[in-house]
Amino acid sequence: MSFNDITNQETAKSVLKSAIRENKIHHSYLFFGPEGSGKKSTALEFAKVLNCLDRKDYEPCDNCSSCKKIMKNLHPDTMWISASGARQVIGIDVIREVEHFTQLKSFEAKYKIVLLERPEKLTKEAGNCFLKTLEEPPSNVVIILLSAFPNKILPTIASRCQKIKFLALKPSEGIAMTKKQFDLEENKASVLYFVCSGKTRCIQLWLDTDLWNLRDEIFDVFMNAFSKEKQDYDAPLKLAGIMMETVSNFANEVKKEKQNGIDEFGENLSSSQIKNIKALKQAETEELKKELVKTMFSIIKSFYTDVFSMNCGTGFIINEDKKILLKKKAKDFSHSYLNNAIKEIENSNILLDSGANLQLLFQVMCINLFCGER
């Protein structure tokens, strides 16, 4: 990927390219704009460019050891931070780790880079601590904040960053970017863009886990479970089991892949670096699991929203390739049931963020969906 693949963000890209070209890199940036507008992809490209060993103007080579490590989140001079835990916050302990990280000498890169997602989730104590880091950063440290809610960020933090605005994409632009970035056909790019709300990480998770097969299974279960001729009373637990197995298999693959990455680059790292990277990898794996579950919830929600659209005659269908099957089922559902089903899925997302037991969460959600009055 390159800056050229990021759609409809010409102003943002121009500011960053100018900084690179003139070697006037600001010590802290705030990338703000709607979800799915390309903030994270741009931050990743910017991080790669700053430390690329074979840079061409303002584009990373994607082949040097620095680019590869950053893409795999294994670079010892790059740190990714996001809200985590049951409360979904960024606490003081995490920011102290950031503070320690920024004070260390670079291991191999020109710049030490901190990418902090959702800075509005900083606790008050963490925010005050982080402010000190922003006020007196070492000259080779670049901090990039990514937020869809800049008005919720502590004003004293936002005021110390160079603000770069990202614009909302039109659906056609988002679909085109998804199609190009992931080399997909039009229909699949459209489904992915709408189900994943344009979020790059969500789309990548879908493709890595081959959720097309899971989507087919989920839709088949719904079609058969609600059939008056052959109602499947075991369907709720079957679906919960399928989802749980998908998450477990994914987590195991991620752990294996990340360990392989550590093994590949670990010979040049100290034992303390490897320990820190392993801890970060564990936290990242948990976040990826959560993102995968949210993606699965979005697939189920897309079933209900498509049926709702058919009943209301809006004409917009996410799962266009399932239109004929969905049309057959649309008449079986009342508006009240569809509303309650969508609320059930949204409530499950809230419970997921609060740290609910995953297997129990799947089972309760599926039972409530299948047993609701239609």
For the stretch 319-328, pLDDT in tens is 998 988 888 8
Q: Among 60-64, 198-202, 241-245, 254-258, which is the least confidently predicted range?
A: 254-258
The mean-pLDDT minimum among 74-88, 117-131, 249-263 falls in 249-263
Per-residue pLDDT tens for 299-317? 999 999 999 898 887 778 9
What is the percent of the chain with per-residue pLDDT over 90, rounded to a whole number?
37
Which residues face 142 on adjacent strands?
113
| 66 alpha carbon, distance to own chain's centre | 22
DSSP-derived 3-state class of residue 322:
helix
Residues 158 and 298 occupy one common structural domain: no
Rounded to the nearest 5 degrees, what angle is found at the Cα of 34, between the Cα atoms of 315 and 45?
A: 115
Q: Where are the alpha helices (DSSP H) in 313-334?
A: 323-330
User: Residue 165 pLDDT > 90, yes or no?
Assistant: yes
Looking at the structure of the chain, the number of domains it has is 2
- Identify whether residues 136 and 252 lie together within a single domain: no
Residues 289, 107: Cα–Cα separation, whole Å: 30
Specify the pLDDT at position 369.
Answer: 87
Compare 164 and 55 and report the one with higher pLDDT. 164
Out of 92-96, 120-124, 250-254, least confident range? 250-254
Quick one: 161 and 214 in the same domain? no
Same domain, 238 and 160: no
- Would the pTM of this model clear 0.75, i.e. be above it? no
Looking at the structure, tell me whether residues 240 and 339 fall in a common domain: yes
Q: What is the pLDDT of residue 359?
A: 92
* Assigned domain for 191 exists: no
Sheet-wide strand order for 78-81: 78-81, 112-117, 141-147, 28-32, 162-165
Is residue 200 in some structural domain? no
My answer on whether 144 and 246 are in the same domain is no
Task: Provide the domain limits for residue 275.
Answer: 210-371
Q: Is 170 helix (H, G, I), strand (E, B) or coil?
A: coil
User: Quick check: is 196 in a domain?
Assistant: no
Pair (160, 216) in one structural domain = no
Distance CA 228, CA 214 (A): 24
Give the C-alpha separation, 263 to 272, whole Å. Answer: 15
Task: Report residue 114's pLDDT band, with 50, 70 and 90 as the boundaries.
Answer: very high
Q: Which of 357, 331, 276 is nearest to 107 (CA)?
A: 276
Question: Are 114 and 231 found together in one domain?
Answer: no
Average model confidence (pLDDT) across the chain: 85
Domain boundary among 165, 196, 219: 165
| 14 and 160 part of one domain | yes
Q: Three-state DSSP class for 269?
A: coil
Higher pLDDT, 210 or 261: 210
CATH assignment of the domain containing 15 = 3.40.50.300
Domain boundary among 165, 192, 220: 165
140, 110 Cβ separation under 8 angstroms: yes
The predicted model gives 151-161 an average pLDDT of 93
Structural domain contains residue 24: yes
Question: Looking at the domain assignment, is residue 103 inside a domain?
Answer: yes
The answer on pLDDT for 214 being more than 60 is yes
Q: Give φ, ψ of 357 to 5 degrees.
A: -60, 125
Residues 6+ apart with CB under 8 A from 178: 184, 189, 192, 193, 198, 203
Distances (CA, A) of 19 to 50, 137, 150: 10, 18, 22
Asked whether the CA dihedral 74, 77, 78, 80 is positive or negative, the reply is positive
Q: Treating both helix axes as pointing N-terminal to C-terminal, what angle do 335-353 and 358-371 enclose, rounded to 10 degrees?
A: 170
Distance CA 80, CA 143 (A): 10
Q: Exposed e or buried b for every residue in 314-330, given b needs 16+ CB within 10 A?
A: eeebbbeebeeebeebe
Question: In which band, very low, low, confident or very high, does the pLDDT at 231 lie, cut at 50, 70 and 90?
Answer: low
Same-domain check for residues 110 and 249: no
Residue 157, pLDDT > 70, answer yes
pLDDT at 269: 61
DSSP SS3 for 90: strand
219 & 339 share domain: yes
With a pLDDT cut of 70, the percent of the chain lying above it is: 87
Q: Cα separation of 59 and 350, whole Å?
A: 39
Domain-located, residue 183: no
